Structure 1
Amino acid sequence: MKSTDHTQHPPHTPGTPGTPGTPHTTHSPDADPTAVPAPATAAAPATAPRLKIALLLHNAYAIGGTIRTTLNLAAALAGRHDVEIVSMLRHREVPRFAVDPRVRLVPLVDIRVGSDDMADPLFSEPALDFPAAEKRHHQYSRLVDVRAARYLRASDADVLIGTRPGINVYLASFGPRRALRIAQEHLRHDAHSEQLRAELARHYRTLDAVVTTTEADAAVYRARMPLPGVRVLAVPNVVPAPAGPPSDGTAKVIAAAGRLARGKRFDLLIEAFSAVTVKHPDWRLRIHGGGAERTRLQGLIDGLGLAGRAELTGPRSPIEAEFAKASLVVSASDAESFGMTIVEAMRCGVPVVSTDCPLGPAEIIRHGTDGLLVPRGDGRALAGGLIDLIEDPVRRRRMARAALEGSGRYDPEPIAERYRLLFRELRTTRHRRAGQRALGQTRARVRTLLRRWKQRHLAVPRYDSGAASTPR
């Protein structure tokens, strides 16, 4: 897309908190102190360079899985590198999640009512550089375009990491080529529209790497979005161990968490729980989260006579404190790009019964060892899995122990080390990958020219049906 950075706004330099581009280090007194723990890290090897790393987020002040895992990764990397988080938007004074004190927080556009940014004429103009096919486009303005472009063009970071498709387009369009530019994909390839995938392919070809959260999604990108010279790989999300003790597995509570959206299929879970209560009326269901489906789900609970047994509690943070009060956690989603709540439950020593949906759960849960996988959309199978574990507490507790032990693979340090190795690889292979990219571009041009030549010279002649027939 064409950018016209024509405004006369002053450059974003450190100053008064609240100024766009100003590092924000104020922390909320009610923020979750365990959301982003400061890990104790070993001293960096003498040969390892201390890099400046910037992670670009949609809104670091909100609540969401991508925000949590980005803050966690930033904290894990901050032990050996200079790390800052750049928030495209800022809608409140302090972040919902605690930000590690070693990490700088830089907001670009203040959307709080009465802010100077809201009075800027560009705030009322739709974004041009942020892809129109991206589902967050309506939240972006020309002012965000301009501020993001200015930040990236002036950045002295060694590594720039985007965390959603539209921001990755900013990164490809305006990020300096001397920096390593990495696109994280927290959504599945197939969750993007065809129009957005086509636009992403054009921009992702100029980046250094695309990182998905699952091996399955990385394989889809390699197969359906050829990116010569771009490293495509999977690195799971960082999920630190919670501060509190794990579940003791005695509470007759089933928990679930997430946005109350149709794709999360909390309706299927409520219906499955209704079947559970027939055999085990003393068990309770607690669904943590907010969203547009709350009224419909409450109506379903009331209609099934589950009032007092099933509860919509609203958002809870930290969610681990709620999972530790449960003996089972459920994910009934139709699709999960990763499955943060599954790992968070396992970190609390709680086995998860999940639908075997694309793509995350099957890479997290070892079926029959630390949890159960059931067919997607099958309420009877979901209820059956819950009843099996309710009626076999010995097996349930064995799974709980396995879940707690296995969840250590999502510790901050191992994930941070995978990123450090990626940075090293990308720096040492830069010239080779540039050659691969150039060769891929040449082959693409040759294919295009060949296709056009065939269309022009090998097309089947068309005859006018109204022409005079040949004499006999």
Structure 2
Amino acid sequence: MRISFLLHNAYHIGGTIRTTFTLAQVLAERHEVEIVSVFRHRDEPILGLPAGVTLRHLVDLRKDSPGYDGEHRDFSRPATVFPRGDGRWKQYSALTDARIGEHLAGVEADVLVATRPGLNVHLAKQARRGPVLVGQEHLVLAGHTFRLRREIRHQYALLDAVTTVTEADARAYRSRLKLPGVRIDAVPNSVPAPSVAPADPVAKIVVAAGRLTRVKRYDVLIDAFAEVTAARPDWKLRIYGTGDAVDDMKATLARRIKDRGLEENVFLMGWANPMEPEWAKGSIAAVTSLRESFGMTIVEAMRCGLPVVSTDCHGPREIIEDGVDGRLVPVDDVAAIARALLDLIEDDELRAKTARAALTASERFDPVRIAARHEEIWSDLVDRGASGRTHGGVGEAVHRTVGGAIDAVYELKRRAGVLVRRFR
């Protein structure tokens, strides 16, 4: 098969980028695979180019590049195809609308895969008939704005398939959206086997990793670790990741560490790539997020032989078997997090047993297994033919016309709102 992925920015770093690169590399062993990045802001991808995969971009943001698009006349004009409800809308423009449309109209592929809601909408609106159209959901349907969910309900009806990263979210798509003729499947993200030896359960280190943002609730983890150190001052917590300059979470967390008197126990380690050697230095991993659509860091830690104490925030419950290969605790419950950590810290045999179970359980997320699941879905759709989707030519034309009308209504409402605010 010829498979083409459409990514927001393949040159950056993030869970969707990482899992797409991993999947593409495995698929490239048997198929012709390309990744098309809407944006390019640096010369080389931070994660490196997957072996056997072609990478190209649509909009060049490198100011020193001869192909720099930042001064294009359409770059400052707002996007009308990319939906406003998608949190990345402000980064898109009339230029991206046109470039993505040109790409989707001309790409030669058997399967086109988009990787976020806004790009899935592009796929539905602009892709030519012929290739199988697959929209991936790497977040959670319930976490999207009402406006975006409405757009999803309408536009995704023109896709052939939607894949989510959890079965819970697949059920939500089936029950709440009612997309007749659209195949909806849950396929988790994949994580390759680490290149380092499994962690030593004797290490007295708890490891956490992820962007320093409010949703990760590292403040809660620090508070919980204050309770841990009160009982076991010989244990350390290492937090890996960086935050945005606008919202200096690192400084906020550093102050909290100082206020709790934890400077000798809790450390902000900064960003690490690769992360595997850092996981392997610990013996327990901790995740205290308000929400996780999946939990890539959970699987990464488990693949390195660490049991994970995680808040029960959607995705983790489909990865961790509570009491077997990790612990699930209530969100924002400092005492429960501290208690779960201490249960593992104070019982060396339990910690070692749980670590072995985590290592074994995480094998189900191996890239070869996950790629095979995607191949099964896509091959079935390719064999049936893209025309096998329930929407005929006339029905599709009507659908697109109605979609255009809804877009126009949204735009009129927006302009009316602007006028009301202007004349108040």
- What is the distance in 2 between the residues matched to 1:70 and 1:312? 28
Corresponding position of 1:354:
310
- What is the distance in 2 between the residues matched to 1:281 and 1:380? 17
- What is the distance in 2 between the residues matched to 1:431 and 1:151? 18
Corresponding position of 2:206:
254
User: Are the aligned partners of 1:230 and 1:433 in contact in 2 as well (CA < 8 Å)?
Assistant: no
Kindly state the Cα deviation for residue 393 of structure 1 after the two structures are TM-superposed: 0.9
Higher helix share: 2
Corresponding position of 1:308:
264
Kindly state the Cα deviation for residue 429 of structure 1 after the two structures are TM-superposed: 4.1
RMSD of aligned alpha carbons: 1.8
- What is the distance in 1 between the residues matched to 2:289 and 2:172? 20
**Matching residue within 385, 388, 401 for 2:343:** 388
Kindly state the Cα deviation for residue 131 of structure 1 after the two structures are TM-superposed: 0.8
Q: Work out whether 1:127 is the aligned partner of 2:83.
A: no
Kindly state the Cα deviation for residue 235 of structure 1 after the two structures are TM-superposed: 0.2
Kindly state the Cα deviation for residue 240 of structure 1 after the two structures are TM-superposed: 0.4
- What is the distance in 2 between the residues matched to 1:208 and 1:105? 24
Pairs aligned (count): 391
- What is the distance in 2 between the residues matched to 1:111 and 1:124? 13
What secondary structure sits across from 2:256 in the alignment?
helix
**TM-score (norm. length: structure 2):** 0.89
User: Are the aligned partners of 2:28 and 2:51 in contact in 1 as well (CA < 8 Å)?
Assistant: no
Corresponding position of 2:165:
213
Corresponding position of 2:372:
417
> Between Structure 1 and Structure 2, whose CA radius of gyration is higher?
1
Residue by residue, what CA displacement relative to the aligned partner does 1:49-95 show, whole Å, maximum 9, x if unpaired? xx110111111111101110000000111111000000011111111
The answer to which of 242-251 and 71-80 deviates more is 242-251
Residue by residue, what CA displacement relative to the aligned partner does 1:374-419 show, whole Å, maximum 9, x if unpaired? 1122110000000010000111011111111111111111111111
Matches of residues 4-403 of structure 1 in structure 2 within 5 Å? 51-115=1-65, 116-291=68-243, 292=247, 293-358=249-314, 360-403=315-358
- What is the distance in 1 between the residues matched to 2:148 and 2:194? 37
Residue by residue, what CA displacement relative to the aligned partner does 1:196-248 show, whole Å, maximum 9, x if unpaired? 01011111000000000000000011111110000011001111001111111
What secondary structure sits across from 2:75 in the alignment?
helix
- What is the distance in 1 between the residues matched to 2:295 and 2:355? 17
Partner amino acid, structure 2, of 1:382: I
- What is the distance in 1 between the residues matched to 2:79 and 2:386? 34
- What is the distance in 2 between the residues matched to 1:382 and 1:93? 42
User: Are the aligned partners of 1:357 and 1:376 in contact in 2 as well (CA < 8 Å)?
Assistant: yes
Partner amino acid, structure 2, of 1:269: L
- What is the distance in 2 between the residues matched to 1:356 and 1:388? 17
What secondary structure sits across from 2:47 in the alignment?
coil
Kindly state the Cα deviation for residue 432 of structure 1 after the two structures are TM-superposed: 9.0
- What is the distance in 2 between the residues matched to 1:432 and 1:330? 47
User: Are the aligned partners of 2:130 and 2:387 in contact in 1 as well (CA < 8 Å)?
Assistant: no
- What is the distance in 2 between the residues matched to 1:397 and 1:283? 16
User: Are the aligned partners of 2:307 and 2:355 in contact in 1 as well (CA < 8 Å)?
Assistant: yes
Partner amino acid, structure 2, of 1:84: E
Cα gap change, 1:114 to 1:128, in 2 (>3 Å) = farther
Kindly state the Cα deviation for residue 424 of structure 1 after the two structures are TM-superposed: 2.0
Kindly state the Cα deviation for residue 308 of structure 1 after the two structures are TM-superposed: 2.6
- What is the distance in 2 between the residues matched to 1:431 and 1:279? 61
- What is the distance in 1 between the residues matched to 2:127 and 2:241? 36
Kindly state the Cα deviation for residue 431 of structure 1 after the two structures are TM-superposed: 7.7
Residue by residue, what CA displacement relative to the aligned partner does 1:435-456 show, whole Å, maximum 9, x if unpaired? 4x57xx89x99xxxxxxxxxxx
Partner amino acid, structure 2, of 1:142: A
Partner amino acid, structure 2, of 1:154: G
Kindly state the Cα deviation for residue 119 of structure 1 after the two structures are TM-superposed: 2.1
User: Are the aligned partners of 2:215 and 2:289 in contact in 1 as well (CA < 8 Å)?
Assistant: yes
What secondary structure sits across from 1:123 in the alignment?
coil
Residue by residue, what CA displacement relative to the aligned partner does 1:330-369 show, whole Å, maximum 9, x if unpaired? 01111111000000000000000001112x1111001111
What secondary structure sits across from 2:310 in the alignment?
strand
Which structure would you say has the larger RCO, counting Cα contacts within 8 Å and 6 or more residues apart?
2
**TM-score (norm. length: structure 1):** 0.80
